[in-house]
Every structure is written in structure tokens, then in C-alpha cells.
């Protein structure tokens, strides 16, 4: 019953059940909490362009093709260039406008070293403020959670096949 209720609430807000929630519905309360966090962050303090770029950075780092394929076109719609996407896909931090570069550097450092340099942190705070910086940290955690859920489901057919060429 709790799973059905969670399913219906998530679908009522989105029109469908996103793929990651197929696994999360085994814990309905967690599924609904993740949905609330996702909704808040996707409509929060950070520009959509930043969110899409960071989401793809995580997809690349976690080798989650499904996540990449579902968001690459959305990223292009925000004005991110194909050249930038190609760089992100290769695990690079492409040269972009300062705010986007700061967010991508932050995401890259967190994913690879589990820390950020003081200068990277200061750059993110200067572009997005304290609220935006907090939301960027939470968004990285959310995007990583999504990639883990998708990779557990083997949505690519072969999880071992890397996103990067």
C-alpha cells in the first residue's frame, strides 16, 4: 500500500515514474524524500545550465550512459555547446563562462578527490552565494545517487561499458 501511494504521488507530479524510482520504491519513504529533494534542487537557486552540466559531469564520472543519454539534449537546450559536452564526456573541465566553469571545477574536484580547493570553493560562493553553494553540494549528491540507482538497474545493458570514449 505504501509503495502504491508513493508511486501515485511521484507520478502525479511528473506524469511518469522516472527510472531511478523503480529501485527506490522498495523504500517508499526514501523514494518520496528523494523526489522532494530532486524537485527542490532542479527548481532551486542554481541556473538550469549549471544543473545540466553538473548532472552530465556525474553521469560521465559514474559511467552512467542512461543518465547521460537522458540529459545531453536538455543540456544543449540550455545553451551548453556540443564542444562543452564533448569535454565533460571525456572527464575534462571545458573552458566556459566563469560561473559554469566554477561549477564544473567544483563537481570534478569533489568527484575525483572528495574535496575542493579553497579557491574553487571561493569561486563557487562568489558566483552562486552560500545558498547556491549548499545546493550545488546537495545536487552533486543527488546526481550521484541517481547514477548509482541507474547503474544498479543495469539500464545500459552493460554497466561496465564506459561513457567516456
Q: Which CATH class is domain 48-147?
A: mainly alpha
Write the CA distances from 34 to 10, 11, 158, integer angstroms.
10, 14, 26
What are the tens digits of pLDDT across the range 116-147? 999 999 999 999 999 999 999 999 999 999 99
Closest CA to 123 of 114, 109, 133: 133
What are the tens digits of pLDDT across the range 90-112? 988 878 899 999 999 999 999 99
Is the model's pLDDT at 71 over the cut of 50?
A: yes
**What is the C-alpha to C-alpha distance for residues 55 and 147, in angstroms, rounded to an integer?**
9
The mean pLDDT value for 10-22 works out to 90
> Where are the domains positioned within the chain?
2-42, 48-147
| Count of helices and strands (H, E) across the chain | 8, 0
What are the tens digits of pLDDT across the range 23-67? 999 999 999 999 999 999 999 999 999 999 999 999 999 999 999
pTM beyond 0.85: the answer is yes
Tally the residues of the chain: 165
> What pLDDT does residue 156 have?
61
Amino acid at each position: 500500500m505504501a509503495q502504491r501511494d508513493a508511486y501515485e504521488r511521484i507520478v502525479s507530479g511528473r506524469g511518469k515514474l522516472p527510472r531511478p524510482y523503480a529501485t527506490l520504491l522498495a523504500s517508499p519513504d526514501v523514494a518520496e524524500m528523494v523526489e522532494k529533494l530532486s524537485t527542490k534542487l532542479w527548481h532551486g537557486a542554481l541556473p538550469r545550465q549549471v544543473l545540466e552540466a553538473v548532472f552530465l559531469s556525474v553521469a560521465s564520472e559514474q559511467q552512467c550512459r542512461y543518465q547521460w543519454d537522458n540529459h545531453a539534449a536538455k543540456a544543449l537546450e540550455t545553451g551548453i555547446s556540443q564542444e562543452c559536452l564533448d569535454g565533460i564526456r571525456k572527464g575534462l573541465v571545458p573552458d566556459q563562462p566563469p560561473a559554469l566553469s566554477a561549477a564544473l571545477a567544483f563537481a570534478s574536484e569533489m568527484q575525483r578527490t572528495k574535496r575542493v580547493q579553497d579557491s574553487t570553493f571561493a569561486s563557487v560562493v562568489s558566483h552562486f552565494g552560500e545558498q547556491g553553494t549548499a545546493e550545488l553540494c546537495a545536487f552533486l549528491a543527488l546526481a550521484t545517487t541517481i547514477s548509482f540507482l541507474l547503474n544498479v538497474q543495469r539500464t545500459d545493458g552493460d554497466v561496465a561499458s564506459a561513457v567516456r570514449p
